[in-house]
Chains A and B, each alone.
Chain A
Amino acid sequence: MKIITWFGTLTLDDGGKVVEWDMFSKDTDALAERLIQPKEADMDIPPAGFDIRAAAIECGFVASDDEYDNLLRDVSIRAAKKQISSGTPDMGIIQAVEALDDIDETANTLSERLAEWYGMYFPEVGLSSEPLARFVAKYGSRSNVSPDDRLYEKATSSMGAELTGLDEELVKGFAENICTLYDSRSRLEEYLVKSMETTAPNLVNIAGALIGARLVSMAGGLEKLARFPSSTIQVIGANRALFKHLRARAPSPKHGIIFNHPQIKNSPWWQRGKIARALAAKISLAVRMDVYSGGGLNESIKTELDAKIESIKATHPKPPKRESKGGSGKGKGEYKNKNKMQNKKAGGRR
């Protein structure tokens, strides 16, 4: 059996005796690096009961107990310093969320340009944003559309101009660039999901990784978010410029980012405010759990939230009788909001 220790790798026989060893170089900094990343495939941890201190002395890595203590202490301190100075993970999350927004803004602008440009050659294409970019990057001119593509008919009968030569090259290259942006967008999302799961497992469990990441980013960090009262969490993200880039699925701006949560989005309008309040309260609890008590996932928050939402749905199955202003306004508000965005896009085009 081959095992790894902080000072080297050891091969043990069946009786647990060291039969072969390979000591690392006795350099504090190098040892500290190894301490952090001990991973070496095919190696085990020392079996329970194995005396790693005795092994270090026996193999001549250190001469005495004192030297062992001192060196291990120095190396561990160095390693711990390295680990915390690599920055808190929420800094990475904030940057990634902002990068995501920058990409969205750029990708939207470029996609609109592509739609207009490619529209001259294939006005019937009926695609926009990412699907359009993928389509143009794949085929270029509509004359290349393969017969098994569902747009083949339209492509052959299109009234658009021919796209050839330099024009085709340019449009296609432009579309490829947009595709690269969408690729980086999905990598950013993957990154966010991963690092949110390790940094704030409870928040992810309640809000989802992406909404959670937005909350962290807008609050300016996980710890800051933990200090917000839940009433603030409920409206974080309202009126943020960010929303102007979000497509039609964006919430109406008077609501916070948590209105993107499926539990709210998929509920009828008269339940949404109440669910939002419950959700914000549990988010607040979850974040505090992540920041202050650290550690694992506490499923009870989620269970309580689900129960609370159940009860909201049970006690308010129907819209309130009296036509409340807020109620009827809500549907219209969303509609208006959509219009506004379309106008804006249209404006940009001219």
Chain B
Amino acid sequence: MAAKEVSSGVFEITERGGKQLATKNLVHGMSVYGEKLIEIEGCEYRIWNPKRSKLAAMVIKKFNIPIKRDSKVLYLGAASGTSVSHVSDIVSDGIVYAVEFSQRTMRDLIGLCDERPNIVPILADANRPQSYAHIVEEVDVIFQDVAQPNQSEIAAVNAKQFLKKDGHLLLSIKARSIDTAANPKKVFKDEVRKLENDFDVGFEVLDSRELMPFHEDHLGVMARVRN
């Protein structure tokens, strides 16, 4: 067994010929959602399934993930924290602001926050960054997975308020939540064009790839604010 770091804090574990993604477990012995724990050379890793996480899929798709050990991350659409827990592993010296607006999933997310030192849960609507601007500081990375029709607008208003000048936006665009009928390729093109032109923060799209075969009709986008 061997662990190779493929992105800051993200490892590729080779085990009996198979390769799996994993992060170093920040809270020893705790599995968050039933994922497997593996011990290699005194280090505990949590297996990270790309089918369950857009971010993990983006790692496998060779995005140059800008999340570092000491990054501050604003995570929009945290859900019950499946992916957030791995981001929390990655930013062991940083902090994750986890925004989720469904009370039901927030319940699970709080359970996770209780176990981990570096997640700040925020029950709020990502459409209204002004409702958490008194809590969240400037961040290095905004990760967004909200599956809403106005995804790019949500990204823009949040980047405007919270993203550092040289910070990055990571975005998962779900074609079907924007237009159920249209061809996903066209939806993706429209969304990228919107990100680049439609808002008062203009984004420069650095990279965009579909997250197939892990997530059907999802586009991963990495962008930064054009200065």
Assess the A81–B110 pair: CB atoms within 8 A: yes
Assess the B135–A294 pair: CB atoms within 8 A: no
Q: Which of A48, A76, A293 contacts B147 (CB 8 A)?
A: A293
Assess the B118–A46 pair: CB atoms within 8 A: no
Question: CB-CB < 8 A to A49: which residues of B?
Answer: 138
How far does the Cβ of A286 sit from chain B's closest Cβ, in whole Å? 14
Within 8 A of B (CB), among A58-93: 69-70, 72-73, 76-77, 79-81, 83-84, 88
Residues A84 and B135 in contact in the complex (CB < 8 Å), given A73-B113, A73-B120, A77-B110: no
Interface residue stretch chosen among B5-13, B16-24, B101-109? B101-109
Assess the A80–B106 pair: CB atoms within 8 A: yes
The distance in angstroms between the C-alpha atoms of A73 and B119, with both chains bound, is 7
Kindly state whether residue A154 has any CB partner on chain B within 8 Å: no
Q: Which of B106, B133, B146, B160 contacts A295 (CB 8 A)?
A: B146
Chain B residue at minimum C-beta to C-beta distance from A295: B148
Residues of A within 8 A of B (CB): 3-6, 35, 38, 45-46, 48-49, 51-53, 69-70, 72-73, 76-77, 79-81, 83-84, 88, 223, 293-296, 298, 300
Chain B residue at minimum C-beta to C-beta distance from A46: B133
How far does the Cβ of A87 sit from chain B's closest Cβ, in whole Å? 9
Assess the A84–B107 pair: CB atoms within 8 A: yes
Number of interface residues of B (CB under 8 A): 36
Assess the B134–A45 pair: CB atoms within 8 A: yes
Assess the A84–B106 pair: CB atoms within 8 A: yes
Residues A69 and B134 in contact in the complex (CB < 8 Å), given A77-B110, A80-B106, A293-B147: no
Q: Which of B114, B120, B148 contacts A72 (CB 8 A)?
A: B120
Which of A35, A38, A295 has the most chain B CB atoms inside 10 A of its CB? A295
The distance in angstroms between the C-alpha atoms of A72 and B134, with both chains bound, is 11
Residues A293 and B134 in contact in the complex (CB < 8 Å), given A76-B120, A76-B122, A84-B106: no
Interface residue stretch chosen among B35-43, B48-56, B123-131, B211-219? B123-131
Residues A296 and B150 in contact in the complex (CB < 8 Å), given A51-B138, A69-B95, A76-B120: yes
Q: Which of A6, A70, A77, A88 contacts B135 (CB 8 A)?
A: A6
How far does the Cβ of A31 sit from chain B's closest Cβ, in whole Å? 11
Question: CB-CB < 8 A to B106: which residues of A?
Answer: 80, 83-84
Assess the B149–A76 pair: CB atoms within 8 A: no
Chain B residue at minimum C-beta to C-beta distance from A79: B123
Kindly state whether residue B177 has any CB partner on chain A within 8 Å: yes
Within 8 A of A (CB), among B149-195: 149-150, 160-162, 177, 180
Kindly state whether residue B137 has any CB partner on chain A within 8 Å: yes
Assess the A296–B137 pair: CB atoms within 8 A: no
Please, could you name 30 A-B residue pairs with CB atoms under 8 Å apart, sorted by A?
A3-B134, A5-B134, A6-B134, A35-B135, A45-B133, A45-B161, A48-B160, A48-B162, A52-B134, A52-B137, A53-B137, A69-B118, A72-B120, A73-B113, A73-B118, A73-B119, A76-B113, A77-B110, A80-B113, A80-B121, A80-B122, A81-B110, A83-B103, A84-B106, A84-B107, A88-B103, A293-B147, A295-B127, A296-B127, A300-B180
The distance in angstroms between the C-alpha atoms of A128 and B83, with both chains bound, is 62
Q: What 15 new A-B contacts, CB under 8 Å, besides A69-B117, A76-B120, A293-B177?
A: A3-B134, A5-B135, A48-B162, A72-B120, A73-B118, A76-B122, A79-B123, A80-B109, A80-B110, A80-B113, A80-B123, A84-B123, A293-B148, A294-B101, A296-B149
The distance in angstroms between the C-alpha atoms of A5 and B101, with both chains bound, is 20
The distance in angstroms between the C-alpha atoms of A204 and B107, with both chains bound, is 25
Question: CB-CB < 8 A to B101: which residues of A?
Answer: 294-295
Question: CB-CB < 8 A to A5: which residues of B?
Answer: 134-135
The distance in angstroms between the C-alpha atoms of A81 and B112, with both chains bound, is 12
How far does the Cβ of B113 sit from chain A's closest Cβ, in whole Å? 5
How far does the Cβ of B162 sit from chain A's closest Cβ, in whole Å? 8
Q: Which of A48, A51, A73, A76 contacts B117 (CB 8 A)?
A: A73
Chain B residue at minimum C-beta to C-beta distance from A34: B134
The distance in angstroms between the C-alpha atoms of A223 and B107, with both chains bound, is 15
Assess the A48–B161 pair: CB atoms within 8 A: yes
Question: CB-CB < 8 A to A80: which residues of B?
Answer: 106, 109-110, 113, 121-123
List the 6 closest A-B pairs by CB distance, nearest first. Answer: A45-B133, A76-B120, A80-B121, A294-B102, A53-B137, A5-B134
Question: CB-CB < 8 A to A84: which residues of B?
Answer: 103, 106-107, 110, 123
Question: CB-CB < 8 A to A46: which residues of B?
Answer: 133-134
Chain A residue at minimum C-beta to C-beta distance from B122: A76
The distance in angstroms between the C-alpha atoms of A295 and B180, with both chains bound, is 17
Question: CB-CB < 8 A to A72: which residues of B?
Answer: 120, 135
The distance in angstroms between the C-alpha atoms of A72 and B96, with both chains bound, is 11
The distance in angstroms between the C-alpha atoms of A224 and B92, with both chains bound, is 40
How far does the Cβ of A65 sit from chain B's closest Cβ, in whole Å? 9
Assess the A76–B103 pair: CB atoms within 8 A: no
